[in-house]
Amino acid sequence: MTPAYRHSATARAVLRSLVPVICPPDAVALADAIVDHMELTLGTTPGLVRRILPIGFAAYDLGAVPRFGRRAQSLDAARAERYYARWERGPTPVHVEFAHALNQVMSLACYEQPEMMERIGYRVGPWIAEATKKRLTVFADDVRAQEKQILAPDPLRPIAKQEVA
Amino acid sequence: MVALHEAPSPRNVFTRRDVTHDLVLDCDAVIVGSGAGGAPMAAELAEAGFDVIVLEEGSYYQTRDFTANTSQMVRQLYRDGGATMAIGNPPIMFQEGRAVGGSTVINGGMSWRTPDDILARWREEAGIEDLTAKALEPYYERVERRIHVAPMDEAAIGNDNWLLKKGADAKGWEIVGNLRNQAHCVGSNRCPFGCPTGAKQSALVSYIPRALHYGARVYADVRVSRITFHGKRATGVVAKSANGHHVVVRAKLVVASCGAIHTPALLTRSGVKSRSNLLGGNLSLHPNVKVVAIFDETVTGWQGAHQAFQVREFADAGLGCFAAVNLPPSVVAMSVPHRGAQLGRLMADYDKMVIAGLLCEDTTTGHVKTIGGRPQAFYQLSPHDAANIQRGLELLAEMLFAAGAKRIILPFHHVQELASADDARRVFNKPIPPHGWEVVTVHMMGTARMGSDRLGAVTDAFGFVHDADRLMVADASLFPSPCRVNPMETIMALSTRAAGHLIDNAGRYLS
């Protein structure tokens, strides 16, 4: 599926600089995959959000210049942390919501990485396979009976269209 | 064994691959939406011999398509990737299914009848005298049979739910086994992302196959732009397929089953006006909040049935239930305010987490406004409901500490962590401003409310729009007020009841 949204160069650089701020230290090596994943997620958001995002990233990037003398994407780790924390606290609700949304989407992307799931012991694929097999073997007769019931005749009313006509 | 739902795609399901040119279709009834309202209506009318077309904006998936890839499932099955929000303070995130089967594909499968006292309130508010438990009984029974409503197999109940029960028992609170539409759920705990085992009897694997079996046609990937009219009489719909082809359906009856957010938008886009001025109004949504409780022991909450129990102790006080609702790690990570190393430390304990939530029976309403053809929900949590939720969080925390929780993360943007029940009492001793709360919902209701008085309701007792002809609503939009419990079964029962009324009066509505 082709995402309807593509990170701009600025967005990609800003997001990459935020990976060490938002994600755990052991996820930093996965920064590119995390940023790519965010593109997929943001691609499904409402069109209005997708249109506003580039403005948000540009504002975040350039907003660092007055205080730090360089764009957000070029800040070192300590300054990037301080700058993001300022957005988290304000100065306006828009800043707060933007920072919060970035945290949400990046945290989601981070723990969608197979390596991160493996590290915390979330091995859901094999579990689904095991559960599915159990259902279709141990409960095979009941499963079949339910499937038959779904299709079996059981008219709501003793009337057919032909009678209406 | 090949399960029914895993057979090749049925020949009367049409997807974007099948719609290769503009289409004009004729039928008796066109149903917009294939979820809890639309699917039973389609199955009942089709079995009665009527020619039914179902149009669904989302795509057609089968059980084999539901994988462990959480974010891919969200992108495929949720409207706008789940990023839909009612504007207010706090904003309330809500989720809607967008796939054949609608939100039944992504819900938890809780199947409850609307309590008698709520029905009594609806009778009084809506002036619908026969909206009694006795009158609805045959429809509820029929729905429960069709979607196999049953208690959980005990072996499928996971540790997170047993801990919830331990806490409730320690407090002496009422806790009930959940009733769910499942046939031997084996606890994959993936309900919100499409049941990968086929156990959850969503509309996708129950009513839709039944409707198809009796001749209904389902067009997926088709978005209805408006309903067509001849005078006041609805005559069909105009739609567009995902690949850009126009689809016109001419029908004797139009049924809007798009859910409480999109049904009022469709009606408004189509020029429908209600003299009640309530079209899009009266939005209630069972606000709910979640906490993350961390135990010393390994819980592995992702193995076991979703919401096996509900704590009902405070239902009469407006707190519908407390329940354990496991979420995948990515969703937990996005739901907490933590970041950086702090997030890493929290998530390292993922296997020791019990995620529990509460549902508030709201006492205020919001509205859905149609802007540029698209719906936008507005909802301001009332001070009363905010206080009730705060009280609920305190009780939920007390219960989880009674079960042995060591710490609890609260649903606030600024990190709030509790270490004991005393801590909970201290934190909740004063009002916490709702700004920064994480409030979510999947129960949107009431935006085309039914009622006998056309000046006080959008539709009549069966869902016929008062100010139009041959136009029905069949979804949670009809509810006069919140139903306190999970709404799916009542949506299905009301839809079945409406289908019965149509069949009984086919000469009037379907000829």
Give me the pLDDT at residue A65, please: 97
Beta-strand pair B179-181/B149-151: antiparallel
Task: Provide the token pair at B82.
Answer: 């789940």
Q: What is the pLDDT of residues A69-101, one digit of tens each?
A: 999 999 999 999 999 999 998 889 899 989 999
Residues of A in contact with B341 (CB under 8 A): 24-25
Segments in chain B below pLDDT 50? 1-5
Averaged confidence pLDDT in chain B: 95
Segments in chain A below pLDDT 70? 1-4, 159-165
Residues of A in contact with B47 (CB under 8 A): 153-156
Distance of CA B198 to the CA centre of its chain: 19
Give me the pLDDT at residue A3, please: 45
For residues A28 and A13, is the Cβ–Cβ distance under 8 A? no
Q: Please give the residue of chain A at the shortest CA–CA distance from B4.
A: A147
Give me the pLDDT at residue B165, please: 98
Partners of B356 in the β-ladder: B291, B324
Q: How far is B426 from chain A (nearest CA, A)?
A: 24
For residues B425 and B404, is the Cβ–Cβ distance under 8 A? no
SS3 B324: strand
Q: State the distance between the two ends of chain B, measured CA to CA, in whole angstroms.
A: 43
Facing residue for A161 by CB, picked from B68, B374, B506? B506
Say yes or no for a CB contact (<8 Å) between A104 and B209. Answer: no
Q: Testing the interface with B: which of A30, A112, A133 to mutate, by most B Cβ within 10 A?
A: A112
Give me the pLDDT at residue B4, please: 47
What lies within 8 Å, CB to CB, of B497 at 6+ separation is B136, B139, B462
Give me the pLDDT at residue B276, please: 97
Say yes or no for a CB contact (<8 Å) between B184 and A139. Answer: yes
For residues B302 and B189, is the Cβ–Cβ distance under 8 A? yes
Say yes or no for a CB contact (<8 Å) between B196 and A81. Answer: no
Give me the pLDDT at residue A160, please: 52
Say yes or no for a CB contact (<8 Å) between A131 and B186. Answer: yes
Give me the pLDDT at residue B415, please: 62
Give me the pLDDT at residue A1, please: 43
Q: Strands, DSSP E only, in B347-446?
A: 353-360, 367-371, 374-378, 407-409, 417-418, 439-441
pTM of this prediction? 0.95
What lies within 8 Å, CB to CB, of B397 at 6+ separation is B291, B293, B408, B410, B418, B421, B424
Residues of A in contact with B328 (CB under 8 A): 111, 122, 124
Give me the pLDDT at residue B6, please: 54
Give me the pLDDT at residue A49, please: 86
For residues A53 and A10, is the Cβ–Cβ distance under 8 A? no
